[in-house]
Amino acid sequence: MKFFVDTADINEINDLAATGLLDGVTTNPSLIAKSGRDFKEVIKDICSVVDGPVSAEVASTEYDAMLAEANEIRTWGDNIAVKVPLTEAGLKVCKQLSDEGTMVNVTLCFSAAQAILAAKAGASFISPFVGRLDDISSDGMRLIAEICTIYDNYPQFDTEVLVASIRSPMHIVESAKMGAHVMTSPPDVIRALYKHPLTDKGLAAFVEDWKKTGQSIL
């Protein structure tokens, strides 16, 4: 499974990239606004740090304006994945860009039917939002299972399942068990994967026992 981080904070991205675990970055208008920085400047900075796909989202909803924005965004880096919403206009833009060799991340997916459309339009990534489904008492992980099954049935689909709106490490683990290709989450959820009380307890015991020896490795 590929690990993307969902943030526009360049410091967080640099820190996670240093671990070697980071395969890409996703952003959206809300994250860019939170950064307080210029959109183009932020995306170009991220592209200089991360070799993998960097998703940058269009802001318009109408086809012509969306395509114009997409054509500008994809000039900002060789690893840009233009992010478009799962609407009729978004899928038209997806088809055109993918035919021209540009990566496209189709976002705001909430049904298997929508995921089929994105794959047929040539999307590089489909982003189903599991956390937002959970928020309305629907089963987000069931959607991931459905999409993975459908895509497995049709090898001609090259679209990767990018699990988004992740709220906990278990979303990541369950997605990996289902065969999802990519996950994207906030930095704190990635860091939560490190944590286990028995690891902390064991390390504390090792440190205490080492102190008792009075030795030093250096």
DSSP E strand boundaries for the chain: 2-6, 24-26, 54-57, 80-85, 103-109, 125-128, 160-163, 182-185
End-to-end CA distance of the chain: 38
Do the beta carbons of residue 21 and residue 2 sit within 8 Å? no
**pLDDT category, 85, cuts 50, 70, 90?**
very high
What pLDDT band is residue 101 in, cutting at 50, 70 and 90?
very high
Report the pLDDT averaged over residues 112-140. Answer: 98
Non-local (6+) Cβ contacts of 154 within 8 A are 119
Q: What is the pLDDT of residue 119?
A: 98
pLDDT of the residue at 197: 95
pLDDT digits (tens, 9 = 90+) for 198-208: 999 999 999 99
pLDDT for the residue numbered 172: 98
Q: What is the pLDDT of residue 112?
A: 98
SS (H, E, C) 16-67: HHCCCCCCEEECCHHHHHHHCCCHHHHHHHHHHHCCCCEEEECCCCCHHHHH
Nearest to 53 by CA among 13, 19, 82, 80: 80
- 83 is an active site residue: yes
Instruction: Check residue 59 and give its pLDDT.
Output: 95
CA angle 51, 117, 64 (to 5 degrees): 75
Percent of the chain with pLDDT over 70: 100
What is the predicted pLDDT for the residue at 208?
A: 95
Is residue 3 helix, strand or coil? strand
Percent of the chain residues past pLDDT 90, beyond the cut: 99
Q: Which amino acid type is present at position 119?
A: A
Task: Give the pLDDT score at 42.
Answer: 96
Q: What's the predicted TM-score (pTM) here?
A: 0.94
Give the mean pLDDT of 180-195: 97
Tell me the C-alpha to C-alpha distance, in Å, between residue 51 and each of 47, 122, 135: 7, 22, 33
**Which domains are assigned to the chain?**
2-213 (3.20.20.70)
**pLDDT, tens digit (0-9, with 9 covering 90-100), for 207-216:** 999 999 999 9
Question: Given 2, 40, 83, 201, which residue is catalytic?
Answer: 83
pLDDT digits (tens, 9 = 90+) for 42-84: 999 999 999 999 999 999 999 999 999 999 999 999 999 999 9
Tell me if 152 sits within 8 A of 179, measured CB to CB: yes
Q: What is the pLDDT of residues 135-166, one digit of tens each?
A: 999 999 999 999 999 999 999 999 999 999 99
